[in-house]
Structure 1
Amino acid sequence: MRLPRWAGSLGAKTAAFITVMCCALAALLGVLVHVSVTNQTVGQARELALDRLAEATAAYEAGDTLVPGTGVDPVGLPAQLRALAAAGGRGTMVGEYRGRPTMWAAGPVDGGRAIAVEVDYSQGKRTIDGLDRAIVWSSALAIGATLLVGALAVTRVTRRLHATAQVARRISAGDLDARVDDPRTKQPARPQDEVAAVAAALDSMAASLQSKLLSEQRFTADVAHELRTPLTGLHAAAELLPPGRPTELVRDRVAALRTLTEDLLEISRLDAGRERLDLDTEQLAALAERVVRASGTDSDVRVVRDAHVETDRRRLERVLGNLVANAHRHGRAPVVLTVDGPAVTVRDHGDGYPAYLVEHGPQRFRTEGGTRGHGLGLTIALGQAEVLGAGLEFGNAPDGGACARLTLPQGKPGAQGLPDGAV
């Protein structure tokens, strides 16, 4: 049987541990007190019974009349004690006589008979029973109070741990400004516990990571800006070259460098988080058709269900254009762009995305199999999709081919989907 999720929390485990330890301690102390008081009470009653037995034995031997509560072979005498006295021994035993607890003491007399004394043990029994009830109630109160105090103390710790975990999740999601800012880390004079140490380490790690990423972003942006000027000069010079195959190669390489530079600048802007949306309502099927026409590729557009979406047209065209270009560059025809409500799927029929890309997403300057490209197209598509608030998922179709699915936020309230094939 699987335990509920809350059973695995630190608070639940601590509460269970405190409860078990308190119960064990209460049981141990209760048993010790019970045994001690019981021995003392029984010992006092035994001494009294033996004293009366000695007096009764002396009176019997002197021929005096026995006092009430004493007798020879009385009816209620326990059989074990009767046998002990008949064998010449003396002893005591607690039993029931006439519906009340009784301490018996018995010894031998002539004729193999037993002389016995009964002492009322009701008060001792009530004392022990009352003590047991007091032990149970006090133990329950002590366990409850300890559990309450322990829960409060653990809750404070778990609250801080949850806050630290939340900050860690925000950092992993890209919010590098997130910090725990535990007040204990700002006051060195205060004792530093383990949670404060974890919080301080997380804040230090986040600050270091943010500094390195910002340095890389600045480097990327600076390199792209510095390349722009010489590339502009190269482009102008290439246009002055005489026609011919060498000129075409130079122009092609210059164009590739300009594209790479513009991609690096776009990535640096996405990394900096300075992009702003220019929202408008767009018809998704018509926008997909424009993207395919602008790409100059032989791609099919299929409309299962058209929709209006509120989005940034330029950025959405950039995302879909990169997906279509990647499908033609690294996949095989036919390339199909399917519009199904606010979701657009771009699929080719090639070998599919590499395993690392499906699992971890696109990585800059990484391609598989020696294919052309710098691995920036899908990176830009993913970054622009995040700016749009859309989800971009990469996978492989069961029957082969790469499949990228872009899911856009719904349009303005009241926007209605269009009939299939409507433009």
Structure 2
Amino acid sequence: MLGAAGLGAAVALAQVAVVHLVIDNTADEALAERVEGYTVWSSIAAGLVMVLLAAGLAAWVGRRALEPVGRMARTATEWSQHDLDRRFALGPPTDEIRALGATLDTLLDRVSQVILGEQRLTAELAHELRSPLTTIRATADLVAMRPDLDDQLREDVDDILAACHEMAATMTGLLHLARTGRAHSDEQTDVSSAVAAASNGPGHDRITLSEGADLVLAAPAALAARAIGPVLDNATRLADHVVVRAVARAGWIEIEITDDGPGVPSGIREVLFEPGRSGGSGSGLGLSLARRVARSFGGDVTLAPAVPGAGATFLVRLPAA
């Protein structure tokens, strides 16, 4: 651009020199002044045109040079655990940008290997746990068939069978999730059923579903409960009242879980969803698994910003049917 401006200035100076030469050899001063004025304005116009052309050329060259960066940005935005094979693929590293793309492709290879290893581990654990669970369920079935059980013992056995059935459904879903990277989405359940399945532990009587009970989720009840349950468990363990509110927004259902407990300490807010991190006596695996299940549907589990004097508020986002 500066080169074009300098060239325009040189042309203008040359034209002015010619004009002065004409003036020196012209008797008509009025004509000479008009020629000088025309020359100056034409020089300015030529300079502006050259500057605009130089700016357009610079913009075109800049766009062509940065096109790989834009493609990398779009690929990075769309990359997820469901697209582990996607790469930037800018070609041979013939320049700095393509070399950066090749380096990032190598990094993505390593990240995908870690994710695949985690999925394999989850699949192996779910598979190994199914055998003892089947044994427990078979034994409970045999006990339930005995005619000498009193009412209390029969109720306890029924509770064991119900828990076995729920665990089997959850493990089947987790096994499918680990193998494919995606949860089942052809089954549906309403928010009320999902919350009921997720709040069958101690303190369930302190949970109130205030809004959106009839909203339908594009998820099976067992996996929806896995995304909601750990949040409800933490809330009922630390608070006296828990309010659940579901709202439909643009193809999603946002389930807001608010409690009147002490809230989440500021020191662990940033790492709360990391496996093994816990603000209490728990193992720290519940929230991380809840987030993973929700993200398998494309949703998420997040912690809302802290409000002074209030408890904690979690948002569980799941697809709407």
TM-score (norm 2): 0.69
Deviation, structure 1 residue 323: 1.7
Contact 1:217 1:268 in 2 (8 A): no
Unaligned runs of 5+ in 1: 1-17, 46-101, 103-118, 236-258, 412-423
Query: Cα deviations across residues 101-149 of structure 1 (Å, max 9, x unaligned)?
Result: x8xxxxxxxxxxxxxxxx4345544543443344234333333333333
Contact 1:299 1:335 in 2 (8 A): yes
Matched with 1:156 is: 64
Q: Which amino acid aligns with 1:148?
A: G
Matching of residue 355 in structure 1 with residue 266 in structure 2: yes
Q: Which aligned pairs between 1:323-402 and structure 2 lie closer than 5 A?
A: 323-329=231-237, 331-339=238-246, 342-355=253-266, 358-359=269-270, 362-368=273-279, 371-395=280-304, 396-402=306-312
Query: Cα deviations across residues 295-334 of structure 1 (Å, max 9, x unaligned)?
Result: 24342223234333142222112222222222234x2323
Matched with 2:116 is: 214
Contact 2:82 2:182 in 1 (8 A): no
Contact 2:123 2:179 in 1 (8 A): no
Contact 2:12 2:44 in 1 (8 A): no
Q: Which amino acid aligns with 2:213?
A: D
Query: Cα deviations across residues 351-390 of structure 1 (Å, max 9, x unaligned)?
Result: 322436644660011123xx32222111111122223344
Q: Which amino acid aligns with 1:295?
A: G
Contact 1:267 1:380 in 2 (8 A): no
Deviation, structure 1 residue 267: 8.7
Query: Using a 3 Å threshold, how does the CA distance of structure 1 residues 302 and 209 change in structure 2: closer, same or farther?
Result: closer
Query: Using a 3 Å threshold, how does the CA distance of structure 1 residues 397 and 173 change in structure 2: closer, same or farther?
Result: farther
Query: Cα deviations across residues 30-89 of structure 1 (Å, max 9, x unaligned)?
Result: 4432453345445x44xxxxxxxxxxxxxxxxxxxxxxxxxxxxxxxxxxxxxxxxxxxx
Matched with 2:28 is: 120
Q: Which amino acid aligns with 2:36?
A: I
More strand by percentage: 1
Q: Which aligned pairs between 1:27-176 and structure 2 lie closer than 5 A?
A: 28-42=9-23, 44-45=24-25, 119-122=27-30, 124-171=32-79, 175-176=83-84
Deviation, structure 1 residue 408: 3.8
- 3-state SS of 2:79 partner: helix
Measure, in 1, the Cα distance between the counterparts of 2:247 and 2:106: 46
Contact 2:194 2:222 in 1 (8 A): no
Deviation, structure 1 residue 23: 6.7
> Percent identity over the alignment?
22
Query: Using a 3 Å threshold, how does the CA distance of structure 1 residues 336 and 308 change in structure 2: closer, same or farther?
Result: closer
- 3-state SS of 1:295 partner: coil
Unaligned runs of 5+ in 2: 137-166
Q: Which amino acid aligns with 1:393?
A: T
Q: Which amino acid aligns with 1:335?
A: V
Q: Which amino acid aligns with 1:350?
A: G
Q: Which aligned pairs between 1:237-276 and structure 2 lie closer than 5 A?
A: 266=174, 269-270=177-178, 273-276=181-184
Aligned residue pairs: how many?
283
Matched with 2:102 is: 200
Matched with 2:316 is: 406
Deviation, structure 1 residue 403: 1.7
Query: Using a 3 Å threshold, how does the CA distance of structure 1 residues 218 and 410 change in structure 2: closer, same or farther?
Result: closer
Query: Using a 3 Å threshold, how does the CA distance of structure 1 residues 389 and 219 change in structure 2: closer, same or farther?
Result: closer
